[in-house]
Structure 1
Amino acid sequence: MPREAPYLAVADVLRARILAGEWGIGERLPSRARLAEEFGVGRNVVQRAMDRLIIDGLLEGRAGSGTYVRMPRERLRLVRSRRGERLGGSPSLVGSKERGKADAWDAHSQVRVPAPEAIAERLAISPGDPCVTTHYEFLTEGQPVQLSVSWEPMGLTGGTPVVLPESGPLAGKGVVRRMRSLGVVVATVIELPRPARATRAQANLLGISFGDLVLQIERTIYDTDGRPVETADIVIPDMRREVAYEFAVDPP
């Protein structure tokens, strides 16, 4: 049988001691050097063990201060369903009291932003082609719970009243209705969820620590011809939300 990695063994011991109350909520743990000496391991092993417990939500790192026992936080469930979400824009406020559902948001759009290579590939356009990009910050009861950056090709919406997702006659109505106004019918949505660590910018916006675990969802929306009409990167802090997917079942 393979031997357990040393940092996992240290993490298990620290977890047990935390749960037993050796360090209370909000209390700082001993330094890495002290714990390394106590366990007879290197400081890097202790750091990896602490990182593991930070991911698990037991600890939190405070820059320049140390590592502390984290206050337990309830994780709200976010249900991702085509029936319950307004794709590509502000969430519907109908039923906004549902737990975990965003009840407010901030949005900022820019036009004629050159598509980076990765975005161009997702939108089936050429790198550098002009796009509209919109940055969203979603809140639940005043707490930031989700970020999103959306990209739409201006070759599709440029010069139309719906070029900006949050302005114009269909402001905040989402990709489906805005595209339909142009005669474009949305048919398919593909989401690729991946675990990631929060960047400094994301951590600042979400009120979490740099490197905290987040769920990053790459979403692309296609019309009936298979043409991508919008792509977005969605970031959800793991400590605050768990994500559930709801699928409709076709009747037999």
Structure 2
Amino acid sequence: MRGKMAAGVLMALALLIPAAPAAAQAAAPGLDASCQTVERKVFKDLRQLITIDLDTANEAEVRRLAYQILAETTAESLPVLPPALEEKLKGSADDLRAFLKKGWLAAWAHDLRISIGRTMGDDAGANVKAAANKVLDGESYDAYLAYLNEGLYDARALDCATKPTPTPTVTPTATPTVTPSATSSATSSAPVTTPASSSAPATPAAGAEDNGGEGGGLPVTGTATGLVAAIGGLLLLLGAAGYVIGRRRRSRFVA
């Protein structure tokens, strides 16, 4: 029971103690694979955590160190070392001590190489891939950490600098289309042709009388005029004959 309580206390201390060094290692923002500014992921040099002599340290000190390394590697999302440490913490103190002396370095190196390989995805640029392959050709913890903390972001900056700047797409605004319509001026300018019709009224000749606004007519000529003149002449003859006859009767009466 005491052992479990001690392990819990050590785990809590291990989670609190690395917080200050991690904050001290905060770096300036960098670029991600899509050339967006992000906070850098800092990989800690776990060798700096081993500040005790593993040959002479007691069991509590050894377990405390193991929990510190476990907390740091879990925060960095390393895939190999955290489960290996958890398995050793379940075993004896001697097995844990032996693992911390040598075995954990191999697991940590494997984690660092995996982390480097993850940076070489399909969206990685030519400079990132070249820098990563160069580091993976060697077997140096310092080179692994230098690439993950600095070299990766420097290579990304070079790749992003060579990418063409996207040109913003300007969507043209819809211009209203004015459809020309038939106007009165266009209509009036066109010559109007009136077809001839027998039913159209005759246009009065110049000088014709208006006849009180009721519509003037042509002067009466021809046959109608001769008839009127003949009747007038006949009436004149009849009047003259009546005058002569009347005078003769009056003369006879006097005689």
Q: What TM-score do you get using the length of structure 2 for normalisation?
A: 0.21
When Rg is computed on C-alpha atoms for both structures, the one with the higher figure is 2
Higher strand share: 1
Q: Which has the higher contact order (CA 8 A, sep 6+)?
A: 1
